Amino acid sequence: MASTSAAEVMNFLNEVAGRYPQAISLAAGRPTDVLFERLGTADLAARIDRYLDASGLSMATLLQYGRTAGAIHALMAQQLRIDEGVPAVPERVVVTAGCQEAMSLCLSALCLTSQDVALVCNPTYIGATGAAAALGIAVHGLTADGDGLPAAIDEAVAGLRREGRRAATLYLIPDFDNPTGRVLDRAQRLAILEACERHRIVVLEDNPYGMFRYDGDAVEPMAALDRAGSVIYLSTYSKTLCPAVRVGSAVVPETLFGDRQAATALFDDLVQRKSYLTVNTGQIAQAIVGGHLLLHDGSLRGWIEPARSVYRNNRDALLDRLDMRFGSDPRISWNRPEGGFFLTVDLPFAFDAAAVDECVNEEGVIVMPMAFFALDASQDRRIRLAFSAVGPERIAAGVDALARYLARRMAPQAHARETLAEPA
């Protein structure tokens, strides 16, 4: 599965989910519908009205084409400062069609020649590697994580240099990573920033899950720790409001490695690229987000509380059931994320696309092979479990179903069959 494209993975999963509509999906990292219960048509209209009131714009203006870098940049900068401590200034915010567009714009602006390479964690979010592939940008996977990342960056830079290539950017999800669920601690973030400053690598910090912490203390975003001017912060309202608005942003630092003009030039370049890609982010969607922020004192912290408590319960249900089913089995282990939507389970055998099929066909549960997010075979014996969109009872039933499947795969005869079936 190492070379599977993002499109192939999504098609495969949609196709599997379509064939087994009754199956329990621990594969999809969708936000809970609980978030949408307060967003009926009248609620959406009220947000648009509030935005029109505050901005003094007419509905006719809203229905027109708009400013390429966006209309609600000041409100978004304020929300990022209040909720996440990101030092965002309005003049440096490019409002985008979701984080996905922000990633594409930044990758294309930073990797200008065929020698420019994007560093990514291995495994990483498929939307980032998919965007790089669509743009024809080479990626280099860092299989180390946490404390090992700065050395892995040094090594990658040196290796690429020998090939006449250059690490231009590092795409990273420091908080509750998709797919693994891990968090980088403060010291690790600082060490990565130091390595990136030394090599003049621009960090793309993607943070859709940072507000969804269920216990433990928050770690400042890398954009807040950044002293060099090396971090572009990528934001989205997909998990805090709803994916349908397709509103996110790229926040350029005030200086790029100390150079204010270079940061301005990068911002202008992103805006120009956006003007040829989507012209501007839909103004109706921006008005919904803007009106929402105005109605909630510029912050989403209170708004996401019901969803946060749903996710915390789901996470606890998943951990409890994993403990119950596998707690005494040393062959299976998993991490205990303090937030986010995902966790990683380590298995004693490779879990591939055929296993997804078998598992849903025999037991009615869909899980995600970590190999789908990987650039090599290093993740073959891992799966990602998502706990965002399925309630506690179904999570428990899903883990029970997975346990039955895994027990069969790990039975001595299954092992013997696999060994015999292996080519010489």
Ligand X SMILES: Cc1ncc(COP(=O)(O)O)c(C=O)c1O
SS3 content of the chain, % helix, strand, coil (to 5): 50, 15, 35
C-alpha distances in Å from residue 356, one per residue of 175, 257, 375, 419: 27, 45, 19, 20
- Counting Cβ atoms within 10 Å, is residue 78 exposed (0-12), middle (13-18) or buried (19+)? middle
Nearer to ligand X, 25 or 100 (CB): 100
Q: How far is the CB of 49 from ligand X (least distance, A)?
A: 25
Binding interface with ligand X (CB under 6 A): 29, 98-100, 125, 127, 173, 178, 206, 208, 236, 238, 243, 248
Q: Tell me the one-letter amino acid at 416.
A: A
- Does residue 232 contact residue 106 with C-beta atoms inside 8 Å? yes
Q: Name the residue nearer to ligand X (CB basis): 99 or 160.
A: 99
Element (H, E) at 274: helix 260-277
For the CB of residue 329, give the shortest distance to ligand X in the complex, in Å.
30
Q: How far is the CB of 126 from ligand X (least distance, A)?
A: 9
Q: Which is nearer to ligand X, 188 or 281 (CB)?
A: 281
CB of 29 vs ligand X, minimal distance in Å: 5
**H or E, element range at 382:** strand 382-386
Residue 149, both tokens:
């990342």
Crossing angle of helices 73-84 and 283-295, rounded to 10°: 50
C-beta of 35: minimal distance to ligand X in Å?
A: 13
> Nearer Cβ to ligand X, position 123 or 253?
123
Q: Cβ distance 97 to 116 under 8 Å?
A: no
Q: Smallest distance from the beta carbon of 250 to ligand X, in angstroms? A: 11
Q: Which is nearer to ligand X, 86 or 263 (CB)?
A: 86
Question: Which are the contacts of 372, defined by CB distance < 8 A and separation ≥ 6?
Answer: 1, 4, 9, 126
Bond preceding residue 123 cis, omega within 30 of 0: yes
Half-sphere exposure of 117 (CA within 13 A, CB side): 21
Min dist. Cβ of residue 54 to ligand X (A):
24
Smaller CB separation from ligand X, 99 or 153: 99
Cα separation of 364 and 24, whole Å?
6
- Residue whose C-beta lies closest to ligand X: 98
Q: How far is CA 78 from the centre of its chain?
A: 22
**What's the maximum distance between 2 C-alpha atoms anywhere in the chain?**
74
Q: Whole-number minimum distance, CB 100 to ligand X, in Å?
A: 3
> Which one, 230 or 238, has the nearer CB to ligand X?
238
Quick one: 382 or 384, whose CB is closer to ligand X?
A: 384
Rounded CA gap, 5 and 103, in Å? 17
- Inter-residue contact 320 to 334 (CB < 8 Å): no
Q: How far is CA 207 from the centre of its chain?
A: 7
Residue 201 per-residue DSSP state: P
> Residue 99 CA to chain centroid, in angstroms?
9
Q: What is the nearest approach in angstroms of ligand X to the Cβ of residue 121?
A: 11
Pairing of strands 166-172, 116-121: parallel
Residue 127 host element (H or E): helix 126-135
Choose between 236 and 314: whose C-beta lies nearer to ligand X: 236
Smallest gap from residue 131 Cβ to ligand X (A): 10
Q: Which is nearer to ligand X, 208 or 221 (CB)?
A: 208
User: How far apart are alpha carbons 71 and 339 in whole angstroms?
Assistant: 31
Name which of 386 and 406 has its Cβ closer to ligand X: 386
Question: What is the nearest approach in angstroms of ligand X to the Cβ of residue 26?
Answer: 15
